[in-house]
């Protein structure tokens, strides 16, 4: 058998201070060196991505006085994928007086991630969560309010308190508009430059430190070099490796993958989340899937017919012939079990022949009881835009007929490895939001993505990046003529020329679609050793064909979306291999990573803490060379490791 990987030296987070976990963040903030406002104006930062993490970071660093360059491939920062988040944002404010606290949010997040996240990072996230809500309210974000005018909250999966603040079903959009306004204020003040329709294609590393990026102007094709004193990646996750996902079609992994190839460790790539509440696949024509917010599980009841093959109209199936399987299997949490649990349960029902809709790949999400109890007006107020979206896509009225849902790839918990300061293994390269691995372990709780993105951008990065600047003063003026910058541009240009000169017979999209089907089949909701090894063979063969038979039309010096997609899909091939290797090496089930060889008698995920309580951080060792596994041990002093149960 070909060696899949080697094992290198262990790593550890050297930035997290010791002492009681409740005091660590304040201790780190106090211990970090400060820079006076006049000196900040002399320092520059590049930020790639304008979603919640990137926009909030750019706005805050610009406000602090740093010279910031912000890059996005969209035509406006407002079109970042954070806009698609629907259901809400968590915070430990306990407005409902139902027992919530910072410690409970911390505990729920560590437990929800199946004990595969750092305690220090997660506690800090819970600690700053309340400040996020205050910040966003001050910006004018129109959170929902209760009858008395106070901010309203609702429940989400994996918790038994109501801590999720929301703006109808448009929470991500409203939060992004708030961050965007803060960003544009700094653009007007002259501290931030925004470069739209520019895609990062490589990282410039000089003397071991991140000092700039190479970007392509997506309109003209011109390659540009931008240098700075530090680089921040806020470029999102990599779910589109599966081709069909809930992510926007343009979402990709190129920024983080190019950094990985330059030395940044990539952590836990096999931890990819399957969301249980997605509109099912309707045919071969689709390029993406549409998410229905997890918030719908607050009032909607999930069920399937008890008898396999029951093709009756769901309104004609009486209660006695329905299986509300989540309520039956998990009575303590019911329909609000975490996403990984709900997704596997839906798959099991469909595999048993009780699925509904085309191909039997769906379950019902029914609002009949909630509508009868609360009235249609109340349902419209809470979920109206989601119901309208479902109606437009399926031509079925969810007020009259139950929605059909099925799990789909959504979020990625894996990402570039970072320490407590959010700095990667490359000095001067910071990674925020979904692009890093840090907070969610093996499974993200719903409504925590927006919380992490804004926590990183508004409150954490601005308090840690200054320490890097003080300890790493720039002693050399860097510009585009530096040999390492020229080398990076030449490499990008050569790669582009390769794509344009292959002149094969297959489209880029056909390769992406086939790759996605392989990864979904063998490294999706379930994985096993035999399937993962088979997938690695298929991916390798398909990747070889890609580099000899892909057809990229047009030229570089123009708007060329085929060329853009070719570069992204090429990176997806390499990432897919690492995902399968990571999944193969982790012979346990935890959270969204479910190995069929490691499950309890009743089919739940079975962790192996003695062997796998660590972060798997992978080092790139060169083309056609096996990656190197670097382990960061996870220690738990504030939460007891137990078998996760929601029953």
Q: What is the mean pLDDT of the chain?
A: 96
Report pLDDT digits (tens) over 206-262. 999 999 999 999 999 999 999 999 999 999 999 999 999 999 999 999 999 999 999
Beta carbons of 80 and 72 less than 8 angstroms apart: yes
- Known catalytic residues are 339
Report pLDDT digits (tens) over 545-581. 999 999 999 999 999 999 999 999 999 999 999 999 9
DSSP assignment of 453-472 equals HHIIIIIIHHHHHHHHHHHS
Report pLDDT digits (tens) over 402-428. 999 999 999 999 999 999 999 999 999
Report pLDDT digits (tens) over 10-41. 999 999 999 999 999 999 999 999 999 999 99
* pLDDT at site 2: 66
Rounded mean pLDDT of 593-605? 94
Q: Where in the chain is the domain with CATH 3.90.700.10?
A: 275-410
Report pLDDT digits (tens) over 246-287. 999 999 999 999 999 999 999 999 999 999 999 999 878 888
Could you tell me what percentage of the chain is helix, strand and coil, using 3-state DSSP and rounding each to the nearest 5? 40, 15, 40
H or E element at residue 44: strand 44-48
Strands 230-233 and 429-431: parallel
Rounded mean pLDDT of 590-606? 94
CA 191 and chain centroid, separation: 28
Second-level CATH architecture of 483-614: Up-down Bundle (1.20)
Quickly name the fold that domain 275-410 has: Flavocytochrome C3; Chain A, domain 1 (3.90.700)
Q: In which band, very low, low, confident or very high, does the pLDDT at 474 lie, cut at 50, 70 and 90? A: confident
1 pLDDT more than 70: no
Determine the 3-state secondary structure of 428 from DSSP.
coil
* pLDDT at site 284: 81
348 pLDDT more than 60: yes
Q: Where in the chain is the domain with CATH 1.20.58.100?
A: 483-614
């Amino acid at each position: 058998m070909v060696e899949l990987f080697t094992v290198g030296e262990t790593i550890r987070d050297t930035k997290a201070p010791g002492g009681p976990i409740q005091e660590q963040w304040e201790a780190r903030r106090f211990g970090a060196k400060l820079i006076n406002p006049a000196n900040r104006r002399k320092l520059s930062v590049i930020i790639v991505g304008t979603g919640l993490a990137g926009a909030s970071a750019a706005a805050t660093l610009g406000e602090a006085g740093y010279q910031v360059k912000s890059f996005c491939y969209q035509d406006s920062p407002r079109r970042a994928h954070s806009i698609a988040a629907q259901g809400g944002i968590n915070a430990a404010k306990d407005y409902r007086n139902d027992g919530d606290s910072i410690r409970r949010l911390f505990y729920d997040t560590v437990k929800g991630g199946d004990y595969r996240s750092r305690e220090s990072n997660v506690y800090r996230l819970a600690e700053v969560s309340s400040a996020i809500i205050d910040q966003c309210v001050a910006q004018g974000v129109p959170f929902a309010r209760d009858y008395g005018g106070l901010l309203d909250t609702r429940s989400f999966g994996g918790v038994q308190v109501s801590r999720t603040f929301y703006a109808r079903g448009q929470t991500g959009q409203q939060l992004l508009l708030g961050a965007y306004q803060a960003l544009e204020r700094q653009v007007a003040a002259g501290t931030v430059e925004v470069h739209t329709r520019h895609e990062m294609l490589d990282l410039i590393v000089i003397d071991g430190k991140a000092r700039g990026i190479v970007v392509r102007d997506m309109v003209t094709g011109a390659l540009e070099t931008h240098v700075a004193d530090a680089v921040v990646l806020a470029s999102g996750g990599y779910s589109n490796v599966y081709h069909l996902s809930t992510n926007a079609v343009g979402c990709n992994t190129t920024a983080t993958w190019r950094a990985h190839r330059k030395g940044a460790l990539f952590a836990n790539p096999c931890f990819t989340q399957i969301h249980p509440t997605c509109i099912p696949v309707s045919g071969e024509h689709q390029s993406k899937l549409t998410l229905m917010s997890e918030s719908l599980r607050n009032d909607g009841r999930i069920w399937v017919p008890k008898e396999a093959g029951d093709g009756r109209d769901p309104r004609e199936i009486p209660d006695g012939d329905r299986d509300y399987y989540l309520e039956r299997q998990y009575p303590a949490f019911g329909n609000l079990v975490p996403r990984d649990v709900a997704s596997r349960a839906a798959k099991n029902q469909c595999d048993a022949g009780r699925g509904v809709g085309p191909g039997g790949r769906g379950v019902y999400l029914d609002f009949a009881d909630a509508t009868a109890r609360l009235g249609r007006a109340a349902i419209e107020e809470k979920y109206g835009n989601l119901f309208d979206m479902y109606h437009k896509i399926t031509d079925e009225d969810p007020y009259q007929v139950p929605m059909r849902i099925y799990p789909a790839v959504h979020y990625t918990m894996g990402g570039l490895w970072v320490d407590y300061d959010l700095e990667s293994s490359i000095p001067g390269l910071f990674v925020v939001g979904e692009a890093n691995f840090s907070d969610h372990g093996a499974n993200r709780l719903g409504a925590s993505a927006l919380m992490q993105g804004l926590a990183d951008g508004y409150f954490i990065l601005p308090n840690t990046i200054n320490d890097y600047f003080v300890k790493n003063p720039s002693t050399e003026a860097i510009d585009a003529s530096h040999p390492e910058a020229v080398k990076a541009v030449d490499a990008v240009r050569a790669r582009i020329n390769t794509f344009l000169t292959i002149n094969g017979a297959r489209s880029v999209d056909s390769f992406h679609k086939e790759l996605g089907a392989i990864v979904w089949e063998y490294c999706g909701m379930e994985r096993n050793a035999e399937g993962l090894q088979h997938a690695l063979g298929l991916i390798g063969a398909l990747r070889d064909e890609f580099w000899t038979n892909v057809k990229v039309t047009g030229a570089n010096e123009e708007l060329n979306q085929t060329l853009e997609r070719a570069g992204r899909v090429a990176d997806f091939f390499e990432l897919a291999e690492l995902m399968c290797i990571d999944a193969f090496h982790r012979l346990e089930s935890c959270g969204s990573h479910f190995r069929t060889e490691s499950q309890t008698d009743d089919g739940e995920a079975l962790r192996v803490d003695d062997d796998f309580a660590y972060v798997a951080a992978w080092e790139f060792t060169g083309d056609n060379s096996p990656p190197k596994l670097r382990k960061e041990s996870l220690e738990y002093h504030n939460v007891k490791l137990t078998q996760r149960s929601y029953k």
